[in-house]
């Protein structure tokens, strides 16, 4: 049976990969490797069986390779979105298509969105053709006045996926865990952000105690815990420092407490949102806490974000904080995850070095989620995720000529290009449905 | 539309305006109802007057005039709040000379769809004043009576070069109320922001929002056909009121709701219709024809590209996003090329924000459309794209005779950009409104700070 499944998988892989040359050579481009080789002018990228075989100014031309002339073009690693609900949401206002939220129930930290991923979602294609090749797909909290529909402060586990069309999409399950603090966390725990912190520390203490007394717990010979068994298990890698906690938090005072808490429990923390993180940039750098920011955010949208600033990305980076970009709104950064280049460009406009902005949308997310050994830069042996651009990828008037995931040239047709083409000319005698 | 009042003299001559007001007030004391109505209307007259300015000559920039032209190494001469001349090597010996070589100049950016002031920052219930969602037709409410001038979003919008903007009620209702067009100047009250002579707008909404808001309460409308029945019932009542009003019937009790709707039928108020789907826009055009009013612009219009020909035929603008799509069912068919396909079909295309962040980067939103259009061989030059942000929105707001292009005699609403405005790296360096320097990047003297941000922001606290 196992052999049968394996061979079926092979057949599927063969079918989905038909038309893909095993060896591909991209020549003549300016290649931003984001690795030790830096920028290569008139460079060549050699792809074999989905991996980067070689990259450099001089690469020997293998026989039988498909050659792609990219003279005058720019090649970058595939873009990596560090927080999204791609494949988890088709239309936010259509409830049955929304799988990013888990409300109530008997588990929270262990809720794993990976199994809800729909690789056929139209939303994925729209973003894929804009150069997004990998993404973190993450759960978010549901807020409600009705306690039955409230989420808990742990939203659950996030996964890294590739955005290709084939079934082999899961890059890493359980790549991060999402936690909510600040005003959001407070509203999930009875009204005070202090209660959210207390809920978190109680859960961490419980998870530690549980790890030492699993057998007693199973014999009902240990005290009760605030979380279910599955959740306590899910927290173990977080306590061991191998599972990063993505913490949704904006206010500087909350971040200061989070820094102390991360130190006490030896947690790996990534701040998501972080409107006021720039105000404590030095402390964050010292604590090695990364921040996923929206470089367009400058309004006091809430009292947690009074000091939001478009200078945040540059200030954080200058202080030595690792940064990445997202909208901050889970829905916005899903259907328009592609706007990650706009965020990067605006960060540059407000003082971030250009190459640092490109790193923030390629290599940095791969590092944050522990997949940089195979992704994030164009280096020998890594997965062949790359984009050929018509010009500066951060300029909004530019666009990808081609997008590759694991060496596969992805289809550049999307539901949106089909709609566009159908209505490009309105002078047909027949209704557009025939186009 | 009272274009003849848009000559700029009125707002300059405050004394004359006050004289008119007092004479009307006197008349109302003598005569009864009719003139009383006229006088009370003037009670809401705008009190905007331009901030102090100096004659200024901006020298040596690349100009996107908004008329479809691009001028290299050209100058703009501003005097008495007006654009005096545009061209090469202008003489401005008595003016403040500003070297803007290497920079770009555009007309002030105009956003036809904003909720600044009515849904201000911080976005809390106490400040939520944009939707009078207590009845499906609330033509009697005026957005200006909700506008909080201390919304930090106004000064932030200056960093996007916004000089004029229309503040609309929300879209919960079939007919949400009167909009107001503002000059984006810091002020203590809304009256001091009202764009002189700009006609009022009426906010209407199609589709999911009204039917969801009311249908969920078990009252009409709960369907799209219920929506249309609701508009028609309102216009029937308005038409009846309008006829009575025209006859000067003494028994006619003043009705705020019907007064606004009758003013639409009289062509004094412009209709701004929130509508997503192509089929619904087509129906709304029929509703307008039934009652003899004109739809000035469809807003959001994510499917406008499907009926670009119909919109062009009917001279209806479509104010669209670059790439908002798929957040609800009726936005599922949004495409980035929307504005470009409209423009290509000869329709009036506008990029709008409906968002306090988007309003700061309308230039970038247009750039996305340019990039998407280029992929299908539609090359939109900067001098053409800028019209989506200047000339066309001015048309939709009925203020195109006084703003929207860099032409002599127009209000000197001018933006200086650090580079090509369609580059993501370009920033707004200077914003002039009626010739007055309202914002200058990096200059504390020209970086307004709202009361709310004062002492509440460790950042610059102001527009930046």
Give the gap in angstroms from C-alpha B358 to the nearest C-alpha of chain A.
Answer: 9
The answer to whether residue A47 scores a pLDDT higher than 60 is yes
B224-247 and B278-291 helices, crossing angle to 10°:
20
Q: Alpha-carbon distance B435 to B55, whole Å?
A: 8
Are residues B422 and A397, on separate chains, in Cβ contact within 8 Å?
yes
* Chain B, window 10-49: residues with a beta carbon less than 8 angstroms from a chain A beta carbon: none
Judge: B345–A399 Cβ closer than 8 Å, yes or no.
no
pLDDT-above-90 percentage for chain A? 88
pLDDT attached to residue B253: 87
CA distance A100 to B27: 65
pLDDT digits (tens, 9 = 90+) for B247-275: 987 777 899 999 999 999 999 999 999 99
Tokens encoding A306: 């009074």
The H or E element spanning position B162 is strand B162-167
| B304, closest residue in chain A (CA to CA) | A423
pLDDT tens for A119-176 read 999 999 999 999 999 999 999 999 988 888 899 999 999 999 999 999 999 999 999 9
| A316 chain-B contacts, CB cut-off 8 A | none
User: What pLDDT score was predicted for residue A435?
Assistant: 82
In chain B, pLDDT over 90 holds for what percent of residues?
87
Residue A63: its pLDDT value, please? 86
Cβ under 8 Å to B: A residues 163-202 = none
Residues 380-439 in B contacting A (C-alpha not used; CB under 8 Å): 422-427
Inform me whether the C-beta atom of residue B192 falls under 8 Å from chain A C-beta atoms: no
CATH superfamily of the A79-375 domain? Metal-dependent hydrolases (3.20.20.140)
Q: Is A434 on the interface with B (CB under 8 A)?
A: no
Joined tokens for residue B406: 């860099």
pLDDT of residue B459: 55
A1-78+377-435 and A79-375, same CATH topology: no
Report H helices in B248-356: 256-265, 278-291, 308-313, 338-344
Segment B305-351, tens digit of pLDDT: 999 999 999 999 999 999 999 999 999 999 999 999 999 999 999 99
Which neighbouring-strand residues pair with A88? none
| Residue at token pair 């690792």 | A322
Q: What is the pLDDT of residue B31?
A: 42
Query: Is B94 in contact with B73 (CB distance < 8 Å)?
Result: no
Pick the CATH number of B109-405 from 3.30.830.10, 3.40.50.1000, 1.20.120.1730, 3.20.20.140: 3.20.20.140
Pairing type for strands B56-64 and B96-99 reads parallel
As a CATH number, domain A1-78+377-435 is 2.30.40.10
Integer distance in angstroms from the first to the last C-alpha of chain A?
45
Question: Could you give the C-alpha distances from A13 to A17, A18, A321, B188, in angstroms and in order?
Answer: 6, 9, 40, 66
Asked if B414 contacts B83 with a C-beta cutoff of 8 angstroms, the reply is yes
CB contact under 8 A, B456 and A123: no
Segment B367-389 mean pLDDT: 98
Across the interface, of A306, A397, A424, the residue whose CB is closest to B341 is A424
Taking alpha carbons only, the member of A201, A196, A187 closest to residue A303 is A187
CA atoms of A138 and A114, how far apart (whole Å): 8
For the cut 50, the answer to whether the pLDDT of residue B3 exceeds it is no
CA distance B368 to chain A (A): 5
For chain B, give percent helix, strand, coil, nearest 5: 35, 20, 45
Q: What is the mean pLDDT of residues A218-241?
A: 97
DSSP string, A94-119: SGGGB-SB--SSS-STT-BGGGG--T
The CB density around residue A264, as the number of other CB atoms within 10 Å, is 10
* Whether residue A360 has pLDDT greater than 50: yes
Residue A8 predicted with pLDDT over 60: no
Contacts of B428 in chain A (CB under 8 A): none
Determine, for residues A420 and B457 on separate chains, whether the beta-carbon distance falls below 8 Å.
Answer: no
Q: How many CA atoms lie within 13 A of B132 on its CB side?
A: 21
**Dist. CA B181–CA B57, nearest whole Å:** 28
Give chain B positions within 8 Å (CB) of A349: 424-427
Smallest Cβ distance to A396: which of B306, B309, B364?
B364
Q: Calculate how close chain A gets to B325, using CA atoms only, in Å.
A: 7
* Terminal-to-terminal C-alpha distance of chain B: 37
Residue A345 with chain B: CB contacts under 8 Å: 364, 424-425
* Residues of A whose CB is below 8 A from B464: 310
Measured between alpha carbons, how far is A192 from A267 in angstroms, rounded to an integer? 23
Listed by start position, the domains of chain A span 1-78+377-435, 79-375
Of B401, B421, B433, nearest to B4 by C-alpha is B401
pLDDT in tens, B350-362: 999 999 999 999 9
Nearest CA in chain A to B419: A349
Q: What tens digit of pLDDT does each residue of B277-303 get?
A: 999 999 999 999 999 999 999 999 999
Contact partners, residue A179, CB within 8 Å, separation at least 6: A153, A154, A155, A185, A200, A245, A246, A247, A248
For residue B212, give the chain A residue with the closest CA. Answer: A93
B421-456, pLDDT tens digit by residue? Answer: 999 999 999 999 999 999 999 999 999 999 999 988
Q: What is the DSSP letter of B411?
A: B
Q: Among B156, B208, B458, whose Cβ lies nearest the Cβ of A279?
A: B458
HEC letters along A54-73: EEECCCCCCCCCEEEECCCC
Nearest to A426 among B123, B345, B426 (CB): B345
pLDDT at B1 over 70: no
Beta carbons within 10 angstroms of residue A217's beta carbon: 18
| A408-409/A400-405 β-pairing | antiparallel
* Residue B353, phi-psi category: left (phi > 0), alpha (psi -120 to 50), beta (remainder): alpha
Q: Torsion angle of alpha carbons A34, A39, A45, A48, nearest 10°?
A: -20
Within 315-354 of B, beta carbons closer than 8 Å to A belong to: 323-329, 332-337, 341, 345
Burial class (CB in 10 A: 0-12, 13-18, 19+), A115: exposed
Surface of A (89-128) touching B: CB under 8 A: 90-94, 122-123
Rounded to whole angstroms, how far apart are CA atoms A216 and A214? 6
């Amino acid at each position: 049976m196992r052999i049968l499944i394996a061979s079926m998988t092979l057949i599927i892989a063969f079918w989905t990969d038909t038309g893909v040359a095993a060896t591909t050579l991209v020549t003549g481009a300016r290649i931003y490797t984001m690795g030790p080789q830096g920028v290569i002018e008139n460079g060549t990228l050699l792809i074999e069986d989905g991996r980067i075989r070689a990259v450099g100014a001089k690469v020997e031309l293998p026989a039988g390779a498909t050659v792609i002339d990219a003279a005058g073009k720019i090649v970058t690693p595939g873009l990596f979105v560090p927080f999204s609900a791609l494949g988890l949401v088709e239309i936010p206002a259509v409830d049955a298509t929304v799988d990013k939220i888990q409300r109530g129930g008997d588990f929270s930290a262990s809720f794993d969105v990976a199994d809800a991923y729909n690789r056929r979602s139209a939303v994925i294609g729209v973003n894929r053709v804009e150069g997004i090749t990998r993404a973190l797909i993450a759960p978010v909290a549901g807020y409600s006045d009705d306690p039955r529909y409230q989420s808990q402060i742990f939203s659950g586990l996030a996964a890294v996926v590739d955005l290709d069309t084939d079934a082999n999409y899961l890059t890493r399950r359980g790549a991060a865990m999402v936690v909510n603090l600040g005003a959001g966390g407070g509203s999930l725990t009875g009204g005070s952000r202090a209660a959210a912190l207390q809920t978190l520390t109680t859960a961490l203490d419980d998870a530690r105690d549980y790890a030492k007394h699993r057998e007693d717990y199973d014999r009902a010979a240990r005290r009760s815990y605030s979380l279910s068994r599955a959740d306590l298990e899910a927290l173990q890698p977080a306590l061991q420092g191998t599972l990063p906690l993505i913490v949704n938090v904006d206010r500087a005072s909350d971040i200061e407490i989070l820094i102390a808490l991360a130190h006490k429990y030896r947690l790996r923390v990534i701040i998501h949102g972080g409107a006021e993180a720039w105000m404590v940039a030095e402390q964050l750098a010292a604590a090695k806490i990364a921040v996923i920011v929206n470089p367009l955010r400058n309004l006091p949208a809430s009292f947690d974000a009074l000091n939001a600033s478009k200078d945040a990305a540059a200030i954080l980076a200058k202080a030595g904080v690792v940064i990445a970009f997202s909208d901050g709104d889970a829905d916005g950064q899903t259907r328009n995850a592609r706007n990650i280049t706009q965020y990067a460009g605006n960060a540059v406009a407000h003082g971030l070095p250009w190459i640092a902005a490109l790193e923030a949308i390629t290599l940095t997310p791969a590092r944050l989620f522990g997949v940089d050994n195979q992704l994030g830069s164009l280096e020998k042996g890594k997965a062949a995720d790359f984009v050929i651009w018509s010009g500066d990828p951060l300029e909004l008037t530019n666009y990808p000529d081609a997008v590759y995931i694991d060496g596969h040239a992805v289809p550049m047709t999307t539901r949106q290009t089909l709609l566009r083409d159908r209505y490009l000319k309105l002078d047909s005698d027949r209704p557009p449905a025939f186009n | 539309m009272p274009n003849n009042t848009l000559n700029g003299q009125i707002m300059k001559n405050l004394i004359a305006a006050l004289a008119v007001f007092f004479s009307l007030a006197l008349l109302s004391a003598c005569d009864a109802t009719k003139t009383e109505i006229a006088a009370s209307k003037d009670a809401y007259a705008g009190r905007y007057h331009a901030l102090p300015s100096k004659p200024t000559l901006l020298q040596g920039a690349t100009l996107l005039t908004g008329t479809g032209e691009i001028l290299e190494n050209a100058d703009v001469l501003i005097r008495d709040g007006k654009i005096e001349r545009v061209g090469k090597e202008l003489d401005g010996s008595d003016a403040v000379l500003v070297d803007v070589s290497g920079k770009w100049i555009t007309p002030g950016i105009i956003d036809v769809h904003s909720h600044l002031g009515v849904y201000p920052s911080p976005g809390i219930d106490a400040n939520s004043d944009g939707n009078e969602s207590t009845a499906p037709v609330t033509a009697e409410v005026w957005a200006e009576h909700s506008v909080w001038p201390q919304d930090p979003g106004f000064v932030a919008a200056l960093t996007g070069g916004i000089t004029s903007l229309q503040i609309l009620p929300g879209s919960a209702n079939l007919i949400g109320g009167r909009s107001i067009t503002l000059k984006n100047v810091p002020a203590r009250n809304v009256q001091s922001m009202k764009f002189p002579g700009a006609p009022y707008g009426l906010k209407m909404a199609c589709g999911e929002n009204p039917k969801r808001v009311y249908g969920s309460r078990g009252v009409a409308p709960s369907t799209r056909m219920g929506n249309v029945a609701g508009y028609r019932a309102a216009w029937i009542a308005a038409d009846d009121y309008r006829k009575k009003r025209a006859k000067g019937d003494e028994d006619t009790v003043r009705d705020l709701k019907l007064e606004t709707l009758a003013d639409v039928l009289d062509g004094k108020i412009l209709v701004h219709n929130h509508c997503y789907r192509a089929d619904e826009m087509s129906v709304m055009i029929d509703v307008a024809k039934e009652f003899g009013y004109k739809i000035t612009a469809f807003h959001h219009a994510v499917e406008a590209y499907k009926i670009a020909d119909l919109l062009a035929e009917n001279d209806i603008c479509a104010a669209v996003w670059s790439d908002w799509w798929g957040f609800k069912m009726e936005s599922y068919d949004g495409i980035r090329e929307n504005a470009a396909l409209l423009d290509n079909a000869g329709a009036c295309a506008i990029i709008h924000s409906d968002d306090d962040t988007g309003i700061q980067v309308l230039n970038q939103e247009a750039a996305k459309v340019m990039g998407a259009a280029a992929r299908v061989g539609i090359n939109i030059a900067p001098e053409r794209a800028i019209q989506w942000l200047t000339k066309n929105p001015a048309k939709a707001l009925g203020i195109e005779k006084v703003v929207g292009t860099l032409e002599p005699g127009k209000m000197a609403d001018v933006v200086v950009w650090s580079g090509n405005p369609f580059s993501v790296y370009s920033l707004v360096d200077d914003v002039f409104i009626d010739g007055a320097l309202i914002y200058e990047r990096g200059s504390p003297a020209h970086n307004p700070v709202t009361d709310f941000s004062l002492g509440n922001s460790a950042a610059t606290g102001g527009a930046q």
